[in-house]
Amino acid sequence: MAMTHDEYRGLSLWHATAPGSLEPRPPLERDAQVDVAIVGAGYTGLWTAYYLASLEPGIRVAIVEAEIAGFGASGRNGGWCLGTLAGGETLLADPTRREAAERLQRALFDAVDEVGRVCGQEAIDCHYAKGGYVCVATAEAHREQLLRDLERWRSLGFGERDMRWLPQAECADRVRAKRNLGGLFFAHCAAIHPARLARGLALAVERRGVAIHEQTPALALEPRCVRTPRGSLRADTVVCATEAYSRTLPGQVRRIVPMHSMMVATEPLPEAAWKEIGLANRETFGDPRRIVVYGQRTADDRIAFGTRGSYFYGSGIRDRFEPGIAAFARVQHTLESFFPILRDFAITHRWGGPLGVPRNWRPSVGVDARAGLAWAGGYVGEGVAASNLAGRTLAELILARESERVHLPLVGPPFPSWEPEPLRWIGVRGLLRIGQSLDAAELAGRRTPRLRGAIWRSFVH
Ligand SMILES: Cc1cc2nc3c(=O)[nH]c(=O)nc-3n(C[C@H](O)[C@H](O)[C@H](O)COP(=O)(O)OP(=O)(O)OC[C@H]3O[C@@H](n4cnc5c(N)ncnc54)[C@H](O)[C@@H]3O)c2cc1C
């Protein structure tokens, strides 16, 4: 049964506080013909539509969205608009691809600014604040890891303006984490309100003539045709922008693993609490553990904080969660380990959602011109800035426009398939367990064998 406006509001803090109505736009009611049909109104679909309509005014673009724009990860994420890419580390480490990987890295840095630029131009008030990312060393192993990371960045030619080491006191000036052995400051990161960005982008593409049909699930993607319950959308190019939800399409269950990330948000905190916490510039914060943790100070003075890591058998997808489940207690506990003062304040929102993990843990953008099919995604939880670059690149590829982006190593073949179940479940759950136990050992001050770390990293990239 279709969700109601109130149910959409209840999806996350961000949906609860997004301005404007969440009433679904009218669905596709009959057959239609366009130039480009996009399936999915998350950032990937919306950015692709935005650049198509900007580069070629008058082009006919229609988006079909199973729920409402920003229903998926794009409306629920941690709001880190971060200039990195899953798998980027491996690309940069490969001497034969280094030059291209460096160009890709610079393009990702630019994407963080491009999101801010377009939001300014289109009057999308997504609370964009480029305060950078502070990755705090909360254990000795973290400090060593971050110093190695910094050395690697430097050896690739990235300088103080891109990232720099924060000694303990300077780190504490920014993030007063309980455990602080210094930190790495990464300049290319902005905090945003995710649903404001998604909902604002939807309005911006409509202003440019793009049609959005909500509560219109694609039942099948065929060459140059999207089948929906009440009509087919024919197009020269069909774009698949369904990320973690791809498994809902016929034949796509092994395309991308939906990994769930869980978040909590505090009530708005008083000035006295911020004196204990820091984040004066709305820096985003976390530490370098393998099971990623991420937090931001929102524009209305809450902390929104999350951790990754649940996989459900058969690539199951969950969009709503009971507030009392243990996963939320764990997220809250981790947040309080950064800032014990938060035990005195209420958690007002708890939510989660699926992000998409391809088998090679690396995003891809591409067009199969013969079949009239295109794709973008596979961001492994680093999709806020990357989807801007991906959507822009995909629009240029579809329109056959020359640019530096269409030559980046982000452009590539479709995702290789994951293993069938139960192998997928065993592999993904096993990996999560190993990650959790290595993280716990390091946080307890124990050394972890580098070999196990290397195996982990080679598997996940
Ligand atoms: C809790 C959480 C925290 C995260 N935090 C961060 C972060 O801080 N920084 C960061 O960079 N990344 C983060 N991510 C990842 C980031 O949000 C995603 O990579 C990004 O939003 C992906 O955008 P997308 O448009 O590709 O996918 P989505 O936003 O998931 O959009 C896919 C859309 O397709 C629709 N759809 C699915 N199937 C169909 C169908 N059959 N027919 C029609 N429509 C369909 C869905 O309803 C959905 O709206 C996080 C993700 C989660 C879940």
79 CA closest ligand 1 atom index: 8
At 97 the pLDDT is 86
263 lines ligand 1 (CB under 6 A): yes
Is the distance from the beta carbon of residue 331 to the nearest atom of ligand 1 less than 6 Å?
Answer: no
Q: Give distance in angstroms: CA of 151 to centre of ligand 1.
A: 33
3-state secondary structure 129-158: ECCCEEEECCCHHHHHHHHHHHHHHHHCCC
- Does residue 36 have its Cβ closer than 6 Å to ligand 1? no
241 alpha carbon to ligand 1 midpoint, in Å?
Answer: 9
34-70 per-position pLDDT tens digit: 999 999 999 999 999 999 999 999 999 999 999 999 9
Rounded Cα–Cα distance for residues 390 and 379 (Å): 10
> How high is the pLDDT of residue 461?
40
Instruction: State in Å: Cα 234 to ligand 1 middle.
Output: 25
Q: CA 16, 22, 26 angle in degrees (round to 5)?
A: 165
Distance CA 68, CA 212 (A): 9
Rounded to whole angstroms, the Cα distance separating 149 from 108 reads: 18
Dist. CA 379 → ligand 1 center (Å): 9
Using most ligand atoms within 8 A of CB, pick from 25, 65, 197, 242 the residue to mutate for ligand 1: 242
pLDDT for 2 equals 87
Residue 90 burial (C-beta neighbours within 10 Å; 0-12, 13-18, 19+): middle
Determine the pLDDT at residue 450.
62
- Rounded Cα distance, 215 and 407, in Å: 36
CB of 41 within 6 A of ligand 1: the answer is yes
Has this prediction a pTM greater than 0.95?
yes
* 295 CA from centroid of ligand 1 (Å): 18
Q: Determine which residue's CA is closest to atom 21 belonging to ligand 1.
A: 74
pLDDT tens, 72-125? 999 999 999 999 999 888 888 888 888 999 999 999 999 999 999 999 999 999
> Which residues of the chain are modeled with pLDDT < 50?
451-452, 456, 458-459, 461
Q: For residue 294, give the ligand 1 atom closest to its CA.
A: 8
pLDDT for residue 95: 82
